[in-house]
Chain A
């Protein structure tokens, strides 16, 4: 019995040795030829649905860059991981940086995980581009020299949607009932929403924290019905938003609805007849620019559905990183940070170019509010809303909707 096993083992060892001998030089050469980028984002859990768009878009960006000859003659290799939770996110970031020697880290959706990743990035002096975490704290108290944000901050979401709400007369002297996701993002958003509310003469009928795994909103809907607010505000996140919208229309409540946090995929999941209200968004697939149209066409061709805003974030983050590497002819994080801080401009598929604001590394760019279409006007599963013109308007500074230094101070080390 032992003889054949032994022989087989020897064969395996010999085979492995041969493979190493042949494969090793190739591996070494490959390493110096490749620029590795780490991609971390939640792919499971209540933000997982958005993570899939992020991963697909990042893959697509890398494929396009490599097909066009790469960056400074080197191909990009994307290392992708599920960030799971703040602890795992920081462990994986550390491993990508220390072991895999990635040039930078791109991704994330959860504000809590983005914070832990940014701590690793800062310590190891590695560039981190946040593509989906919104909390103001990441741009204020938690801001970092090596962290940049292509995702808009909560202040930008609140001020963008707030303009629409003011125009609809839903702020001054009105009572809001808000539901808030009970974690870092929600708490931060509630703080920003309260500041906007009190600054513009509104009042809260109630604000309720909702655990992230809540599926049954019926008790909260009974509360809302009883409170008779002028406006129901969703500061919810991930699957919560879809659950809330489906059940809000199930209960047939008629109070206007708006939200300060939004992802298109969640509206698609709520579907025609359930999706309602006014919502701010960083980008959506119906924006009328050639770059958006090309991106939507290519993404739809590849993946069989249009991209949502999270796809926009990760696609553009990869693209602008590659662009910056070419402009600086370097993959060195410090050089890239300096380049960004000098106000390098990036095309973001919108009407105006964007740039990272030096003070807090927040991308300055246009945003939009979308308004749910009445069910009768909906023609397909994707085009279920109409869009505002870009906010801020053409004549305004892009910084008009961002937090001011007094609202959210960033002191970088």
Chain B
């Protein structure tokens, strides 16, 4: 019974990686930029949630903060990312690594190093009991938000003209250009969505995690593992990988080895890469071959 609870909990834990990993995967697939600063936007989302939440309440914080983070994303894309789409990937790595450090230190300078206090609002506290299984209501809400985001993003990418251009851009940007479609606005839109999602994750996790300047660094590596396991350019690959990573952590913890749960996901990544170097559902992307 306890084992079953750990399995379920592990799957639910996958939901938070998902919010971070989807944006990471989108930006990487379309622009070829490995955004090491993605975790920083997650942290900025959490800090914004506290700042806005103290004045306007929890709901306003949840609605407004991701939009602001998304706009940050657009600004960064316009001013910085766009200069690196055709450059050596090592350069964009350096750029985003530096960006992550600047963001973390800026948070430290503005808000101080000690963690901020922020809680689940009273109406969302409490637990849901299903037989012997008990789970906090807030985490179920978190799951619902993650599912809604995945569904929305899937619809946008697979069922709209916007999505068709983005998917074509992932496969062959030159051909898209030859057809007279400029990818520039699409890049900006993807940065808004991807980075906004990281901000949303920060807002949603702020009430249950410690809010401190380096919180982005804590979550970014797990999110990368999800992207790598899932495979580039694959929407469902990332979704599945997030669940598998969450599950792996859950199972290892259930077996009594919670101190190895982090190592376990890297081992998983290694195994997946040995068998499928492109990740579970990685597309064959022409320009990366």
Residues of A within 8 A of B (CB): 43-46, 48-53, 182, 208-211, 213-216, 218-220, 222-223, 225-226, 239, 242-243, 246-247, 250-252, 265-266, 268-274, 305, 308, 381
Contacts and interface: CB of A to CB of B under 8 A. Distances in A.
Say whether chain A's binding surface is mostly helix, strand, loop, or mixed: helix
Contacts of A182: 259
Given A210-B258, A219-B9, A252-B126, A271 B117 contact: yes
Interface stretch (B28-36, B149-157, B207-215, B272-280): B207-215
B216 to A, nearest CB: 11
A215 B262 CA distance: 11
Interface in B1-49: 2, 5-6, 9-10, 12-13, 16
B251 to A, nearest CB: 10
Contacts of A222: 2, 5-6, 9
Interface of B: 2, 5-6, 9-10, 12-13, 16, 108, 112-120, 125-127, 134, 136, 138-139, 207-215, 218-219, 249-250, 253-254, 258-259, 261-262
Contact of B259 (A210, A216, A251, A252): A210
B13 A218 contact: yes
A243 B210 contact: yes
Contacts of B215: 215
B136 A239 contact: no
Contacts of A46: 214
Given A211-B259, A271-B117, A239 B212 contact: yes
A80 to B, nearest CB: 14
B212 A51 contact: no
Contact of B134 (A214, A225, A266): A225
A209 B126 CA distance: 27
B5 A239 contact: no
Which of A50, A51, A218, A381 has the most C-beta atoms of chain B within 10 angstroms of its own C-beta? A218
9 nearest CB pairs, A to B: A271-B117, A269-B115, A219-B253, A52-B113, A242-B210, A239-B210, A49-B114, A265-B114, A209-B259
A183 to B, nearest CB: 11
Contacts of A218: 9, 12-13, 139
A56 B213 CA distance: 18
B113 A49 contact: yes
Nearest to B137: A250
A213 B113 contact: no
Contacts of A219: 6, 9-10, 249-250, 253-254, 258, 261
Contacts of B250: 219
A246 B112 contact: no
A270 B211 CA distance: 10
B120 A250 contact: yes
A216 B201 CA distance: 14
Contacts of B118: 271
A216 B212 contact: no
A219 B14 CA distance: 13
A239 B250 CA distance: 21
Which of A44, A246, A381 has the most C-beta atoms of chain B within 10 angstroms of its own C-beta? A246
25 contacts: A49-B212, A50-B114, A208-B258, A208-B259, A213-B218, A214-B258, A215-B215, A215-B218, A218-B9, A218-B12, A218-B13, A219-B6, A219-B249, A222-B2, A223-B253, A239-B210, A246-B119, A246-B208, A250-B120, A250-B139, A250-B207, A252-B127, A268-B117, A269-B114, A269-B116
Given A182-B259, A243-B209, 4 more contacts: A210-B258, A213-B218, A219-B10, A251-B127
Contacts of A50: 114
Contact of B113 (A43, A242, A273): A43
Nearest to B251: A219
A52 B134 CA distance: 39
Contacts of B211: 269
A45 B249 CA distance: 23
Contacts of A49: 113-115, 212
Contacts of A274: 119
Given A211-B259, A246-B208, A52 B112 contact: yes
A242 B218 contact: no
A53 B138 contact: no
B115 A265 contact: yes
Contacts of A242: 115, 210
Nearest to A182: B259
Contacts of B210: 215, 239, 242-243, 246, 269
A46 B258 CA distance: 19
B114 A52 contact: yes
A213 B5 CA distance: 23
A266 B115 contact: yes
A394 B6 CA distance: 49
A272 B125 CA distance: 14
A251 B136 contact: yes
Contact of B214 (A44, A266, A305): A44
Nearest to B207: A246
Nearest to B259: A209
Which of A250, A251, A308 has the most C-beta atoms of chain B within 10 angstroms of its own C-beta? A250
Nearest to A244: B210
A315 B114 CA distance: 18
Contacts of B120: 250
Contacts of B6: 219, 222
A193 B219 CA distance: 31
Nearest to B112: A52
